[in-house]
Structure 1
Amino acid sequence: MLLHAGHAVLAFAGVGLSQSSHRGNERVDLSWHPPKQTKLNNLTAVVDGDGVYGFIYNSSDTPDDVYGVYNWCNMPHIRKREYVKAPNEYELVFVEVIHRHHKRTPYSSNAFPVESYQWDCDDQGVYYHGEPFNGPKKATPAYWKGYASEVNPFVPSGWIGTCSFPQITSDGMTASWQHGEDLYAVYHDLLHFLPDRHNPAWRRKVAYRVTRNTITSQVAGMLIHGMWRTTERVPLLIQPDAVDSLEPRYPCPAARDTSSRLTNRGANPAWAAHLDAAKPLYAELDAASGVPAGDAGFHASLDHYYDNLSARQCHQKPLPCSEPKHAGDSADAGGCVTQDLADRVYRFGHWEYSHMYRGSRETLAASAASYGVWIAELAAHLRGAMAPEGDGNGGVVYFHNIAHDGSMSRLLSVLQLDEMVWPGMGSEVLFELLRKRGGGGGHFVRVLFGGRVLTSSNPSLGVMDMLPVETLLAYFDGLVGEGAALVVGKCNGSVAL
């Protein structure tokens, strides 16, 4: 569909109908375009392959000479060492960062019925306390410490230990701090864009936002100290849980139903084919884990197994073995999860995320609706930064969001990433708004994913390096409406996805 002078008309582009958005002289393609065909989204390669494409799953440390390679435990982000500056005739005006939280313990819902060892977090504190801003009465820093009662006869299934499941681990907190340090090194030390740490003006220039899931706040505290070296209080922006756009949490039944069909065996032959191909893998995993074959959560996708196994390996914990099933059985009667089994889980996981977020036109439609409010908020920030007085965002020039893999996946779906992966821990997307020095040359956007310029399959976006901002705004507006004007209708079904 072509939007032109306030009227909607149909336009042919090659074969079939193409959607476009028109803003001034800028015509932008709104159609879904498939990602590159690679081993990541080739089911035969997933089933018959070995390893995980050279990706890292057992360490947060990536050697400098290969930095940029996919590392599930600690994804690459911009660093001063690798950062490529924009041409000198351009100056940075505004930056928006969004990234996934850093590495954590697994979710309790992803635990095996009986875990063969404890997971303790005695080398850190996760603090929960409040304090009035005014008056002499201060709070004592109080943190949670899990314990098991000798009296309580009820024993939880799954993980046992002093951690919460989930919580950001000590290693994840260290990675969060380093992420903040690296961002400051680029935007202060290298580009002289952010104020100095000792200049209190930084508090007016930056903003941080988190979700209601406390792991994002755990990351924020460490990251902010990595950037600013402050132990003074810093506000974290947060929206009401029921309408949060960052996680996202606002109601969008049309997108939910579309996504559900994409992952429904009966409604999607491709999803059914991948589940059938995974049957031998499931049989071995179930035997080694003790998970019943009828457990719907573990068998709707490889998500639960992926989270359980990758969290262990990122923290150098052994892959699990099942408990003996009968008295007198040997310790390995149920079998163990081998590295080959874990690698197969990871390969299937990447296929699933590519299929769910980049596999069809419906993935773009669902992501644009379910993440459209955040997209519209980003667009509003870009417009605010271009306001004539230069103060359209209340003086904020750096906006930082800490989110989740579902947030990152929807955003990458909307941007039509040309090679979709499951966004690992700390995955980062940056939007840099630049303008020609001296004025008169317009504004441009660079979009970086994992520290490198993002390449989109959509021809209007392409290599997103010095893209005219009007192009990106027309694309966003065409999908979600300026000010998210289309999102409510798309979500409730009154406007077609």
Structure 2
Amino acid sequence: MITTRHVLPFFLLPASFASVDLGWHPPKKTWINQLDKAVNGSGTNGFVFNTSELPPGTKYGAYNWCNMPHVRSQEYVRANSEYQLEYVEVIHRHHKRTPYASNTFPRESYPWECSDEGLFYFGEPLNPAGNTSAKTYWSVYTSETNPFAPAGFNGTCVQPQITREGLDDSWQHGKDLYGVYHGLLGFLPEGINDKVTYRVTNNVITSQVAGMLVEGMFKPSKTVPLRIQPTSLDSLEPAYSCPASLKLYNSYGVGGSAANWTAHLTAAQPLFNTLDAISGVPKDSTDWHKSFDHYYDNLSARQCHSKPLPCSISDTSKCVTQAQADTVYRLGQYEYSFIYRDSPQSLQAAVGSYGVFIAELAQNIRDCISGKSSIIYRHNVAHDGSVSRLLSILQVDVMVWVGMGSEVVFEIYSKKVYDSKRYIRILWGGQILTSSNPSLGKVDMLDVDVFLAYLDGLTGTKASKVVAFCQS
């Protein structure tokens, strides 16, 4: 097996951590990361892109872009009875939404309506309480007097916003988590208290998800704070500045000219030409042709909400076919695997851009073990770029484009018979995560000291190595 260690020049280990492997190790070879299968294959190899519900007969745990598998009581595997759960930290992507405005066509052939939900935005005095607020929500409309036609989808949606179906998926996600960590394990309290915290990013769609998720878990009768960091340094999204990481990603991935990146774009040029002719996207639009991100988001958002694939406004006989959409989805999977796992530079790039969150995770675990913190459950609602970087750092053995609701859970255990050691289990999509890194392997009751040594070796104390790299 090929491994790469020299790509981490700033990762110098203390002697006590010398046995922990900090090198990059490649993921498994699957249809996802093989160029020929991405370009010339057919279908989506069982991956679902058109509904939050799995097709009849499909086992839960299958990849579903619209609503990824997560921890549920039906599939949850209890730890051996000799262990007791002490701490849980969850991070997952938001649930399904409308496309970002930048991912809509110059003109869309049909509208997208969101009048079946309300996006509530208001402030209210607290600590001490004062006058109460009306429950006001945004109601999108287009004025007939306004001479500027809206780009993208006409209708009553914000681009993006969590859709009604995405809100329902969020609520169910919360209910399922509560069903495991309260109903099955008796770990969470019946009602929410100060031992449970929720965190979101500065993108409002994560707050839209969090509100539904908290209700699905606890049905609280009082207000619930959502922890959030300042926009300029948010580690969860991530939004803090790391020019060195951005430069590294650009050197081998999106926007770069490396042959092993541009190969799939060159091979897919006929597909780009067809999609451009239907969508009206200019052929010289760099953003739409440096990756398949824009077309992937546009087409998958439609199909997740049972909307038809688009047709040309000027010639309605020319439409995107399902086979073409499937090829876009395969190429999107290929791109994410390459960016976050297949490139030997991906580990260093991810540590630079997501190392602060990793350092926070390590500190949260330490604070629980030492008794410094009484918090037993932390919940983070994030984005695909968040979870992808996390999986990159964990060196997941099979990388995918993390779909809506994609979830990683960190569980910290002790032994019921006194033992000062703690152990970690990591669940990815509700199943035990397997890492290509031999020091992590199948993360099932791994000595937490090994896991923390791995994180510390990459990020340094209080992310000191991240700062040094970002400023290099």
Post-superposition CA distance 1:153-205 (Å, at most 9, x none) = 111221211010000000000000000000000000111101113xxxx3111
Alignment-derived partner of residue 165 in structure 2: 171
1:156-305 → structure 2 map (5 Å cutoff): 156-197=150-191, 202-263=192-253, 267-305=257-295
Distance 1:456 1:420 in 2: 10
Map residues 31-42 of structure 1 onto 2, 5 A cutoff.
31-42=23-34
Contact 1:206–1:399 under 8 Å retained in 2 = yes
Counterpart in the other structure of 2:59: 66
Answer yes or no: is 1:336 the counterpart of 2:326: no
Judging changes above 3 Å, is the alpha-carbon distance between structure 1 residues 15 and 339 closer, same or farther for their aligned structure 2 residues? Answer: closer
Deviations 1:116-162 (A, max 9, x none): 00001011000010011234521100000101111111112212110
Q: Deviations over 1:407-450 (max 9, x none)?
A: 00100000001110000000000000001113225100000100
Compute the displacement of 1:278 (Å): 1.0
- Give the distance between the partners of 1:297 and 1:17, measured in 2 at CA: 32
Measured in 2, the distance between the counterparts of 1:439 and 1:221 equals 39
In 2, Cα distance between equivalents of 1:269 and 1:24? 40
| 2-structure distance, mates of 1:174, 1:317 | 18
Corresponding residue for 1:52? 44
Secondary structure of the residue that 2:193 maps to in structure 1?
helix
Q: Identify if the C-alpha distance between structure 1 residues 484 and 121 changes in structure 2 by more than 3 Å, giving closer, same or farther.
A: same
Distance 2:380 2:225 in 1: 13
Counterpart residue type for residue 53 of structure 1: N
CA contact (8 A) 1:369 1:487 kept: yes
Deviation at 1:266, TM superposition (A): 5.6
Q: SS state of the match for residue 396, structure 2?
A: coil
Check 1:86–1:116 CA distance in 2 against 1; reply closer, same or farther (3 A cut). same
TM-score, length basis structure 1: 0.91
Amino acid at match of 2:338: H
CA contact under 8 A between 2:254 and 2:291: conserved in structure 1?
Answer: no
**CA-CA distance at 1:24 after TM superposition:** 3.7
Shift of 1:232: 2.1
**What is the DSSP-based 3-state SS (H/G/I as helix, E as strand, rest coil) of the residue aligned with 1:386?**
helix
Are 1:32 and 1:360, in contact at CA under 8 Å, matched by a contact in 2? no
Amino acid at match of 2:59: V
Residue pair 2:4, 2:25 contacting (<8 A) in 1 also: no
- In structure 2, relative to structure 1, the CA distance for the partners of 1:23 and 1:461 (3 Å cut) is farther
- The question of whether the paired residues in 1 share the 8 Å contact of 2:42 and 2:326 is answered with yes
Q: Which residue in the other structure is 1:139 paired with?
A: 133
- Aligned counterpart, 1:110: 103
Q: Work out the CA distance in 1 between the residues paired with 2:461 and 2:140.
A: 47
User: Is the 8 Å Cα contact of residues 237 and 382 (structure 2) preserved in structure 1?
Assistant: yes
For the Cα contact (< 8 Å) 2:17–2:457, is it kept in 1? no
The question of whether the paired residues in 1 share the 8 Å contact of 2:341 and 2:347 is answered with yes
Alpha-carbon distance in structure 2 between the residues aligned to 1:16 and 1:366: 14
> What letter is aligned with 1:411?
L
1:265 Cα deviation after fit: 6.2
For the 8 Å contact 1:106–1:307, the answer to whether it is kept is yes
Give the TM-score, by structure 2 length: 0.96
Three-state SS of the structure 2 residue aligned to 1:27 is coil
Root mean square deviation of aligned Cα: 1.7
Cα-to-partner distance string for 1:189-234 (whole Å, 9 max, x where unaligned)? 111101113xxxx311100000000000000000000000124210
- Mapping for residues 318-333 of structure 1, pairs under 5 Å: 318-324=308-314, 330-332=315-317
Q: Is the 8 A contact 1:254 1:491 kept in 2?
A: yes
Aligned to 1:408: 387
Which of 411, 427, 445 aligns to 2:424? It is 445
Residue 405 of structure 2 corresponds to 426
Q: Give the CA deviation at 1:18.
A: 9.4
Corresponding residue to 1:366 among 331, 345, 349: 349
Are the counterparts in 2 of residues 18 and 29 from structure 1 also a CA contact under 8 Å? Answer: no
In the alignment, the residues of structure 1 paired with residue 104 and residue 148 of structure 2 have an alpha-carbon distance, to the nearest angstrom, of 17
Q: Does structure 1 conserve the Cα–Cα contact (< 8 Å) formed by 2:113 and 2:156?
A: yes
Whole-Å Cα distance in 2 between the matches of residues 195 and 24 of structure 1?
38
- CA change 1:422–1:14 in 2 (3 A) is closer
How far, CA to CA, are the matches of 2:300 and 2:338 in structure 1?
20
Identity, in percent, stands at 55
Amino acid at match of 1:171: E
Gaps of 5+ in 2: none
**Contact 1:178–1:226 (8 Å) recurs in 2:** yes
Within the alignment, does 1:309 sit opposite 2:299 as a pair? yes
CA 1:264–1:451: 2 relative to 1, 3 Å: closer
Shifted more, 156-165 versus 453-462: the winner is 156-165
Name the aligned partner's letter for residue 49 of structure 1.
G
Q: Distance in 2 between matches of 1:434 and 1:76?
A: 23
Using a 3 Å threshold, how does the CA distance of structure 1 residues 65 and 114 change in structure 2: closer, same or farther? closer
Q: 1:318 to 1:193 in 2, by over 3 A?
A: same
User: Aligned partners of 1:441, 1:450: CA distance in 2, in Å?
Assistant: 30
Higher Cα radius of gyration = 1
Distance 1:423 1:455 in 2: 16
Q: Is the 8 A contact 2:31 2:38 kept in 1?
A: yes
CA contact (8 A) 2:250 2:256 kept: no
Per the TM alignment, residue 482 of structure 1 is displaced from its structure 2 partner at its CA by 2.1
Q: What one-letter code is carried by the residue in structure 2 that aligns with 1:471?
A: V
Matched residue type, 1:370: S
1: CA distance, partners of 2:231 / 2:418: 41
SS across alignment from 1:29: coil
Q: CA deviation at 1:360?
A: 2.1
